[in-house]
Amino acid sequence: MDWMSVIPPIVAIAVVFWKKEVILALALAVLCAETLILINTDLSGTYLAPINAIERVVGTASSPGNTRVLLFSVLVGALLAFIRDSGGVTATVNFLVGKGVAKTRKQVGGLTMFTGIAVFIESNLSVLTAGIFARGLYDRFGMSRARLAYIIDSTSAPVCILILLNGWGAFILSLLDAYELPASSASILWGSVVFNFYAIFTLLIVAYTISADKVHGPMLEEENALSHTDVTQHSEPATKARFMIAPLLVMVFSMVGFMFWTGNGTLSQGSGSKSVLYATALATALAYFLLLFHKRFTHKEAVEIGFKGMGELLPLVTIVLLSLTLGNSLKDLGTGVFVAGVVGEYLPIVFIVPMLFIAGGVMSFTTGTSWGTFAILIPIGVPLIQSLGLPPSLVIAAILGGGIFGDHCSPISDTTAVSSLAAGCDVLTHVKTQIPYALFAGVLTLIAYFIASVIMIG
């Protein structure tokens, strides 16, 4: 199959930029992938590709982990609707502005970034909490939702991959434990933090955009379009800040508790998909009961609001489902393994680490998954460490950073969809406005890895 395995992601990305329609692009890519799989196994049965594509969607949705992600995405719609229609968002914005915590655009950006950093337990939870919390503030200060989506997306994943007291850390440790290495897996993983240049550069760039209150490229166009559009943001009259603050606090703290619970007392061993679903369900239930207790709405009205909120997010939930489905199809097609082969066998030794970063970025971009990138590239990178004596932490950092880099640029990534969902921003607008920042950080990272390779490898 080889080079043909990259056709589905190319189709998806081409249709996205041609038709500006993500759901259609993902659906066609899944159909294309299933057709290629049939061609490789049974050429006479290629007419069954549409049926196989449907079954692939069903199989993806039936996976417990994926089902939790989908339920979490739907529940977010109800939670958002409850705290919005309750007047809690308006009340929280008024409270923060009145207390002087968020009285300037810089403070609003800093508060958003701080929230994303503080909730480092799980990337989806970090994105969700910061996005919901800051929406009203960005509307109040005339800042675009695209800027919000960028800040939360480019804060959460880099922070999670640097702190590593989460599901990512446990997953990567499990991959490293399968090999005999010159040091313990934990020490190598923690040593990778200082070499994860992409995550570090990305956080510094986010901090710059906040402290200077400046944006560039498509993001600037988005902000200018917003400032020249006389649109009055609709918001419910302010009621009680607790309608928003209480559910969000419960979601964050219960997430930590559920991580300990699902990890049998060990935070890093907890299940992120289970914990984020349980925490979101608990927060949604609390938001519902607060509305009933304070007689803000009747049971019937609250239920209608919840389902209306779920309906508003169905397009994004569909994108998440199709992204996960495409990832499964590409795994069977061998796309990731082929892209990993781009690294080649005859590279000069100082180019190996930069090329691992590039391979990770390309793989994550084309498959839409950083988890899959780690799973494929670490088994390729570790033998290079063993046979060539490469610095283990530097190699692992390049692989991890490459996975995050590709995710930040990919329109077919489920992380991109969740970030757009949390910020209330169109998926393609988020991709278009974030890519220049990600590419700039990526170029700086390549230079840094080359310099580090020259110094450390020679």
Average pLDDT, the chain: 83
The 3-class SS string of the chain reads CHHHHHHHHHHHHHHHHHHCCHHHHHHHHHHHHHHHHHHHHCHHHHHHHHHHHHHHHHHHHHCHHHHHHHHHHHHHHHHHHHHHHCCHHHHHHHHHHHCCCCCCHHHHHHHHHHHHHHCCCCHHHHHHHHHHHHHHHHHHCCCCHHHHHHHHHHHHHHHHHHHCCCHHHHHHHHHHCCCCCCCCHHHHHHHCHHHCHHHHHHHHHHHHHHHCCCCCCHHHHHHHHHHCCCCCCCCCCCCCCHHHHHHHHHHHHHHHHHHHHHCCCCHHHCCHHHHHHHHHHHHHHHHHHHHHHCCCCCHHHHHHHHHHHHHHCHHHHHHHHHHHHHHHHHHHHCHHHHHHHHHCCCCCHHHHHHHHHHHHHHHHHHHCCHHHHHHHHHHHHHHHHHHHCCCHHHHHHHHHHHHHHHHHHCCCCHHHHHHHHHHCCCHHHHHHHHHHHHHHHHHHHHHHHHHHHHHHCC
Tell me, what's the pLDDT at 233? 47
Tell me, what's the pLDDT at 122? 66
Average pLDDT over residues 200-221: 93
Tokens representing 234?
């609709």
Average pLDDT over residues 272-287: 86
Identify which has the larger pLDDT, 208 or 186.
Answer: 208
pLDDT-based confidence at residue 128 (cuts at 50, 70, 90): confident
pLDDT-based confidence at residue 231 (cuts at 50, 70, 90): very low
Predicted TM-score of the model (pTM): 0.78
pLDDT for 62 beyond 70 = yes
The angle subtended at Cα 352 by Cα 346 and Cα 444, nearest 5°, is 140
C-alpha dist (Å) from residue 102 to 58, 139, 248, 291, 347: 45, 13, 18, 26, 51
Scanning the structure block, which residue is given the tokens 């702190």?
A: 163
The answer to whether 305 and 87 have CB atoms below 8 angstroms apart is no
pLDDT for 190 beyond 70 = yes
Tell me, what's the pLDDT at 1? 53
pLDDT-based confidence at residue 401 (cuts at 50, 70, 90): very high
pLDDT for 195 beyond 80 = yes
pLDDT for 238 beyond 70 = no
Least-confidence region, from 233-247, 252-266, 306-320, 360-374: 233-247
Tell me, what's the pLDDT at 237? 63
* pLDDT tens readout for residues 88-122: 777 877 777 777 777 889 999 998 898 888 777 66
Tell me, what's the pLDDT at 307? 93
**Nearest alpha-carbon partner for 161 in 373, 434, 410:** 373
Average pLDDT over residues 138-148: 89
